[in-house]
Amino acid sequence: MTRAFVGLGSNLGERETTLRAAIGRLRTLPEVEVRAVSSLRDTEPVGDVDQPRFLNGAVELETALSARALLGVLLELERAFGRDRTAGPPKGPRTLDLDLLLYGDATIDEPLLRVPHPQVHERRFVLEPLAELDPELEIPGQGSVQALLAKLDSAA
């Protein structure tokens, strides 16, 4: 089993209902165990700021799935909740966003799969839920979530 972390986000429709339902669906997946769920945070959008605010959080999983298979499950779950990644801008509004943030201590750089998530170290809305789930968590190649949050604080 591999420990993985998934970022959650939604800024269309009933955000909290969607995120809670997605977490519920994750709990039903074979070879996936939801170990912990962070609190949800109301956050400003990144990139295209002319859109509704997001609700963000993270989940800690234990999984027997490969990173690629887990990503496939997450993308299918997004589609089930009405997300079409081919429509609209990449950082635009979405019903559900599920990002594979960390997969064990793996570093993966493939065209469709990058772990750790490329922007994890610069996004407070990702780091805070991760720190809540595991204050000692290390981001491979980046450092601890606490140190990364402190760096964001000092830059503000």
The active-site residue out of 15, 94, 123, 124 is 94
Catalytic site includes residue 84: no
The active-site residue out of 25, 41, 50, 97 is 97
The active-site residue out of 99, 123, 124, 134 is 99
Catalytic site includes residue 42: no
Catalytic site includes residue 41: no
The active-site residue out of 35, 53, 83, 84 is 83
- SS3 string, the chain, reads CEEEEEEEEECCCCHHHHHHHHHHHHHCCCCEEEEEECCCEEECCCCCCCCCCEEEEEEEEEECCCHHHHHHHHHHHHHHCCCCCCCCCCCCCCCCEEEEEEECCCCEEECCEEECCCCHHHCHHHHHHHHHHCCCCEECCCEEHHHHHHHHHHHC
Catalytic site includes residue 68: no
The two structure tokens encoding residue 66: 């490969």
Report the catalytic residues. 83, 94, 97, 99
